[in-house]
Amino acid sequence: MNKVYETVIGIEVHVELNTKTKMFCRCSADYFGKKPNTHTCPVCLGIPGALPYINEEAIKKCMRIGLALNCSVNEQSYFERKNYFYPDLAKGYQISQLVKPLNINGQLEVEDESGVTSMIRINRVHQEEDTGKLTHVGSETLIDFNRSGVPLVEIVTEPDFHSSAQVKDYAKKLQQIFRYLGVSNADMERGDMRLEANVSVRPVGQKELPPYRVELKNINSFRFMQAAIEYEIKRQIWVLERGETLTQETRGWNETKKETYLQRSKEEAHDYRYFPEPDLPELKIDTLQLRELLRKQLPELPAQKVKRFFDEYGLNKAQIAMMADSKEMAEFFEEAVKVGSKYKVESIKVANFIINKKVNIEDINPEQLIKDIVNQNTGMISDEKELEKVVKEVIDENSKAVEDFKAGKEVALQVIIGSVMKKTKGKAEIKKVKEILEGVLKS
């Protein structure tokens, strides 16, 4: 880490909600991979006379995100029009929130690479709508409005990050929270979740924010974002050390060259002319009642789960990270622990077995998992396929006994079973061996 300069980063995350319909009309929001302009209506096409109508489910999901990030809910919230011209913006304004977002003043704890934790302040979690999608072909641009109006939640932090590792941890934690809450698939590659980092550096000891910031945009993986931030820190320090000044600009990431590149320099700041959206009455939220209601619906969140897994099961950090990675994994683990307690299988053993055997929770249920663990403990071969393999080997090696058996000599079977037991050093269940044997010989 550079000792002269300190990095200052703020993050904006956009996440598309997985509601059935769009934010302000009832077109299906399931636009991915659909034929162009087949999920549109007058509202999301911005046709003369069309008006927006709020999707209640989106508001609930936005508030759940706010709650999960320890935000306060604004008792009075309203939408505003953000005015700018771009061909993917049907109405010539985006309906968004500036003055009265749904959620404000939250926080989330992040870790850096050495495990040191710090608290990131979240400025706001607000609701807005997505734009259409542009495809550039030669000198033309094709526009598809299927995505236009899909609910988008924006989460803006204060400039509290000081390293790319913190940013990566933050982004991963957010993604995990979205999935835990079931509000979004939060797939980076598909663009469900988008990161923007505002990166600048300042001399160590300086309190004020740097007079510029470089916006890193359109970067669709955690890894690339981390690399881009690393590169940007080095570039900015290099520029400053040469006595030059840095200016406000937007940069992208070139993965082939492993460097950031200039997308747009901001000669003058945008003037979005925000004003309250006259087509939508304001939202008045009974915060107490709502918090109570939403909290009941709120699942246990990753951070709480991690703490509980430590307290309750005594797992170590690496084990917890695996067991609480997704809601589904955590549920499987806890169910298995419950079954395991009847067989005196400890929770740590359950976790280790899942991790070491790379258990796919979609292929097995918790009861079977515990059976496998128990059998492994007693040394018995529980895997039927393994046993079958041994049986077949024995059959190949004892063609005489097989012929005798087929000729009607029942005793010959005992010979074969004996060979199997010998081969498995007695770790096979005789009943099971007999079953398999009969199955194979009779077929």
Partner 1 sequence: MTDITSLTLTQTLAALKDKKLSKEELNKAYLERIKKLNPSLNAFLFVNEDSGEIPVAIKDLISVKDMPMTCGSKILENYIPPYNATVIDRLASQGVSFCGKTNLDEFAMGSSGENSAYGPAKNPWNLVKVPGGSSSGSAVAVAADMAVFALGTDTGGSIRQPASLCGVVGLKPSYGRVSRYGAQAMASSLDQIGPITKSVADARLVLEWISGGGGHDSNCHAKPFVTLSETKGIYSSASPQNDRMLKEIKVGVPKEYFGKGLDSEVEKVIRDAIKKLGDLGAEIVEVALPHTEYAVAAYYIIMASEVSANLARYDGIRFGKNRDQFGDEAKRRIMLGTFSLSSGYYDAYFTKAARVRTLIKKDFDIAFEKCDVIVGPVSPTVAWNLGGKINDPLTMYLSDAYTIPGSLTGIPGLSVPCGFADGMPVGLQILGKHMDEETVLNVGEIYENVTDWKDKKPNMSS
Partner 2 sequence: MKLSKDKVRHVAKLANLPLTSEEEEKYSEQLSKILDYTDQLSKADTEKVEPTYNVSGLTNIMAKDEVSESLPQEDATKNGTNIKDGFFVTKGVFNYE
List contacts with partner 2 (CB under 8 A): 19-21, 26-28, 35-42, 45, 47, 53-59, 78, 85-87, 92, 134-136, 138-145, 264, 271, 273, 276, 278, 280-284
Binding residues among 64-123 for partner 1 as defined by CB under 8 A: 81, 83, 85, 87, 90-93
**Closer residue to partner 1 (CB): 42 or 203:** 42
The SS3 call for residue 7 is strand
Cα–Cα dist 236/251, whole Å: 12
Non-local CB neighbours of 209 within 8 Å, separated by 6+ positions? 8, 159, 200, 202
User: Out of partner 1, partner 2, none, which partner does residue 57 contact, by CB within 5 to 8 A per kind?
Assistant: partner 2
User: Out of partner 1, partner 2, none, which partner does residue 194 contact, by CB within 5 to 8 A per kind?
Assistant: none
Distances (CA, A) of 141 to 18, 36, 57, 217, 394: 28, 13, 33, 20, 69
User: Out of partner 2, partner 1, none, which partner does residue 135 contact, by CB within 5 to 8 A per kind?
Assistant: partner 2
Non-local CB neighbours of 230 within 8 Å, separated by 6+ positions? 164
- The nearest distance, CB 82 to partner 1, in angstroms, is 10
Name which position in 52, 101, 151, 340 contacts partner 1 (CB under 8 A): 52
272 by Cβ neighbours in 10 Å (0-12 / 13-18 / 19+) ranks as middle
Name which position in 56, 140, 244, 271 contacts partner 1 (CB under 8 A): 271
User: Out of partner 1, partner 2, none, which partner does residue 142 contact, by CB within 5 to 8 A per kind?
Assistant: partner 2
Angle, helices 302-313 vs 347-356, to 10°: value is 120
- The nearest distance, CB 35 to partner 2, in angstroms, is 6
User: Does 54 engage in binding with partner 1 (CB under 8 A)?
Assistant: yes
User: Does 53 engage in binding with partner 1 (CB under 8 A)?
Assistant: yes
Distances (CA, A) of 359 to 184, 308, 356, 374, 388: 26, 22, 8, 15, 22
CA nearest to 217, candidates 181, 249, 177: 249
Cα–Cα dist 8/161, whole Å: 6
User: Out of partner 1, partner 2, none, which partner does residue 51 contact, by CB within 5 to 8 A per kind?
Assistant: partner 1
CB 41 within 8 A of CB 12: no
User: Does 56 engage in binding with partner 1 (CB under 8 A)?
Assistant: no
User: Out of partner 1, partner 2, none, which partner does residue 205 contact, by CB within 5 to 8 A per kind?
Assistant: none
- CA dihedral sign, ordered 168, 174, 180, 186: negative
Cα–Cα dist 238/2, whole Å: 11
In the block, which residue shows the tokens 């709502």?
A: 290
CA nearest to 54, candidates 281, 248, 209: 281
User: Does 136 engage in binding with partner 1 (CB under 8 A)?
Assistant: no
User: Out of partner 2, partner 1, none, which partner does residue 244 contact, by CB within 5 to 8 A per kind?
Assistant: none
Q: Site mask, partner 1, residues 230-269, x = CB under 8 A?
A: ---------------------------------------x
Give the interface segment with partner 1, choosing from 50-58, 257-265, 287-295, 402-410 (CB under 8 A). Answer: 50-58
Name which position in 1, 3, 35, 48 contacts partner 1 (CB under 8 A): 48
3-state per-residue secondary structure call for 256-272: CCCEEEEEEECCCCCCC
Q: Site mask, partner 1, residues 26-45, x = CB under 8 A?
A: ---------------xx--x
User: Out of partner 2, partner 1, none, which partner does residue 292 contact, by CB within 5 to 8 A per kind?
Assistant: none
Interface contacts to partner 1, rule CB under 8 A: 41-42, 45-54, 81, 83, 85, 87, 90-93, 143, 145, 269, 271, 273-275, 278-281
